[in-house]
Structure 1
Amino acid sequence: MVEIYLTVMTASVVLGIPIVKLLLDKFGRKTICVGSVLVLVPLLVGLIFIQGSLAVNIPVLIVYGVASSGLFMLPWVMLPDVLDEFKFQTGKELDTYFYAAYNTIMMLGTIIAASVITASLEISGYKTGACSQPESVGFALRIVMSVFPMANLLLSSIFVWKHPITEATRQRTKAALQETRCPNTSTMSSDVTTETPSNDVVISTIT
């Protein structure tokens, strides 16, 4: 049963990535982030109370996986926007430091999550190697896998919504950086237009 759940969850996350990419291009980062949170919160609440069969859990896992793929993609999509904005405002490129800080925070979050789960199992009376566990273990896992993620999602959605980089500023920064990368394009085109009449004059003079 667990293997089926994991397979469905993984497949829905992978298949949801191109869907989320299309939605990101159409509606923007902030809208997709808040929308994903609004979809995930009811599902996380349902994990506390609902203990359905396979037919009930499979559709829930599919929706959960597709919504989760948006949250998996958002950090990697928004981080280049931050780098571009930083370069636009300061003229410096510190990509390595930003990515290192992001990976450090991700690993720190993983360590904290693993510690919370381990402590919850210990408090709920988990018995290592036992074939059956007390009901308190299942309830503790449902709380850890629902309440804490739900609180973190709601908090993170507030920070994302207040993120200063909007779609308008992102497009402005992208255009400005593109112009700095190719500063001679307009100059070359003007040179070509000015040289053409002089050649025509020379040809007409020779004839």
Structure 2
Amino acid sequence: MRKIGKKKSFFIGNLCLIPTVIIILISESPMALLFVAAVMGANTVACGYIMPWAMLPECIDAFMLEKGRRPVEIFYTFFFLVAKLAQALYAGVVQLALGASGYDSRRCKQPEAVQFTLRILMGAVPGCVLVLSTICLYFYSIDDERAKEIQIQLKTL
């Protein structure tokens, strides 16, 4: 991460997740291919969880440089709250979608609509979020060079 930077690492992690999403979306994927997707996904999803937290201090430093104050608690609280709220909302959406598709936890064999719903929830929705996050990342203005400039400017204050 230090050699190529946080922004590029996050971008590469997002790009590496695309094959996983595609494998999940393919109907009747072989089990071996799904295991490959699971391993790839586990490694790249970790990037999606870790990198935003690693980039947050740079945002706080930029805010400090621009506004002259450093409300670290507000940044971390807001970041954590929004992340947990999104996770909770998505859990509710999953429950509603599975219920609407006919999921019954007492049955081993589920209707085809449940399988399709799971493919959408585990493939298409994360794929859309992946595209949105990559677009946002493209416009993220603090790269490693800018972060170093901010650190130098903060040391002179």
The aligned runs of 1:142-161 (5 Å cut-off) are 142-161=119-138
Q: Which amino acid aligns with 1:82?
A: C
Tell me, yes or no, if structure 1 residue 127 matches structure 2 residue 104: yes
> Relative CO higher for 1 or 2, CA cutoff 8 Å, sep ≥ 6?
2
Where does the alignment leave 5 or more consecutive residues of structure 1 unmatched? 1-23, 181-207
Computing the radius of gyration from Cα coordinates, the structure with the larger value is 1
Q: d(CA) in 2 for partners of 1:122 and 1:62?
A: 29
Q: d(CA) in 2 for partners of 1:33 and 1:161?
A: 10
Q: d(CA) in 1 for partners of 2:80 and 2:11?
A: 23
Asked whether the 8 Å contact 2:23–2:33 carries over to 1, the reply is no
Asked whether the 8 Å contact 1:29–1:78 carries over to 2, the reply is yes
Q: d(CA) in 1 for partners of 2:30 and 2:69?
A: 54
Q: Which amino acid aligns with 1:117?
A: V
Tell me by how many angstroms 1:101 deviates. Answer: 0.7
Asked whether the 8 Å contact 2:65–2:150 carries over to 1, the reply is yes
User: Residue deviations 1:138-188, cap 9 Å, x none?
Assistant: 2211111110110011111111110111211100111222344xxxxxxxx
Asked whether the 8 Å contact 1:48–1:139 carries over to 2, the reply is no
User: Residue deviations 1:29-53, cap 9 Å, x none?
Assistant: 2222221121112211211215322
Q: What residue is the counterpart of 1:91 in the other structure?
A: 68
Per the normalisation by structure 2, the TM-score is 0.91
Asked whether the 8 Å contact 2:20–2:37 carries over to 1, the reply is yes
Asked whether the 8 Å contact 1:36–1:67 carries over to 2, the reply is yes
- Between the two proteins, the alignment pairs up a number of residues equal to 156
Q: d(CA) in 2 for partners of 1:144 and 1:172?
A: 41
Q: d(CA) in 2 for partners of 1:119 and 1:35?
A: 33
Structure with the higher helix share, 1 or 2: 1
Tell me by how many angstroms 1:129 deviates. Answer: 1.9
Structure 1 runs (4+) deviating above 6 angstroms are: none
CA RMSD of aligned residues (A): 1.5
Asked whether the 8 Å contact 2:19–2:37 carries over to 1, the reply is no
Q: What residue is the counterpart of 1:52 in the other structure?
A: 30
- Describe the SS at the equivalent of 1:145: helix
Match of 2:43 among 61, 66, 80: 66
User: Residue deviations 1:63-95, cap 9 Å, x none?
Assistant: 211111211111111100001111112210100
Per the normalisation by structure 1, the TM-score is 0.70
The percentage of counterpart residues that share the same residue type is 26
Match of 1:170 among 136, 147, 151: 147
Match of 1:139 among 116, 120, 131: 116
Q: d(CA) in 1 for partners of 2:120 and 2:151?
A: 43
